Amino acid sequence: MNTITDIRPSPLAGRWYPAQPKKLAESVDGFIQEAQIPKIKGKILALVSPHAGHIYSGPVAGYAFRAITGLDPDLIVILSPCHQFHPSAILTSGHQAYQTPLGEVPLDRESMDFVNRSLQEKTGVGLSEVRNDSEHAVEIILPFLQRALQNEFTLLPLMLCQQEPSLMRSLGEILAELILSRNALLVASTDLSHFQTAEKANQLDQTIIDGIQSLDPDYLYQAQKENTGSACGLGALAAVIWAVKSGGEAAAHILNYAHSGNITGDNTSVVGYTSAVLTRE
């Protein structure tokens, strides 16, 4: 077995979630155990999960990861937005592994090469590797995966700096092929509306939730264009939906919704969060 020496250090531990392994494990376990979900029919191929600090979005994220407890995917593909500007279209990591206080998560070079090659053939755009990035929307998901899944897994992080529909549809089609060839789970990392009153956030976020429920990426893009709904990970949602739909009859199960005001008590400016699973018969 190859020794992993090139590890992306965590910029989030101690800031976005606890830095002590025991405290982090107990916190994440609590979020997962407190989530009460219905029985999910069909094979779970994808999750939707928020990516704020655990104290804010952890209770909502717990629902998605409760749904996959006991599953054993060997590849996790996390799609997230880019929260810092980068001129490339889609980023991935140039390291061998991510690190959290719960351990190392090795990157899956085989799937990375497949997606890169397929994207270049379909769109002329490939993956750009970055090192020592500060993107939180991928890493914030990892402790939940490390506690919910009992098996070891590899990771393919895809940070979407460009999220236009044509590129995301092509990416979704490529990920559909990956699902067929690998025991893979997709994760769309996204928050919903930002810095609205709680009342307004509920309205905007319900529009996005409706689009997820109906598995309709075009509806999601239209909502964002018309300012009737918003999600920072709109492209991640769209690509994951297209991936799951392209392989057969699919369904979405919305598991939970909340906003930051539920934690802070301040309903004048909130961020919305939802969790969901996408299944295929």
Q: Quick one: pLDDT at residue 4?
A: 80
The pLDDT value given to residue 2: 60
CA distances from 148 to 25, 72, 152, 176, 265 (A): 10, 10, 11, 23, 29
Burial of 60 (0-12, 13-18, 19+ CB in 10 A): buried
Place of tokens 């629902």: 63
148: burial class by Cβ within 10 Å (0-12, 13-18, 19+)?
buried
DSSP tag of 17: B
Q: What is the reported pLDDT for 281?
A: 80
The pair of structure tokens assigned to 77 is: 């593909």
Model pLDDT, residue 1:
46
Strands 7-8 and 97-100: parallel
Sorted by where each starts, the structural domains of the chain and their CATH numbers stand as 31-264 (3.40.830.10)
Q: What are phi and psi of 274, to 5 degrees?
A: -140, 160
Can you give the pLDDT at residue 150? 82
The segments of the chain whose pLDDT lies below 70 read: 1-2
User: How many residues make up the chain in this entry?
Assistant: 281
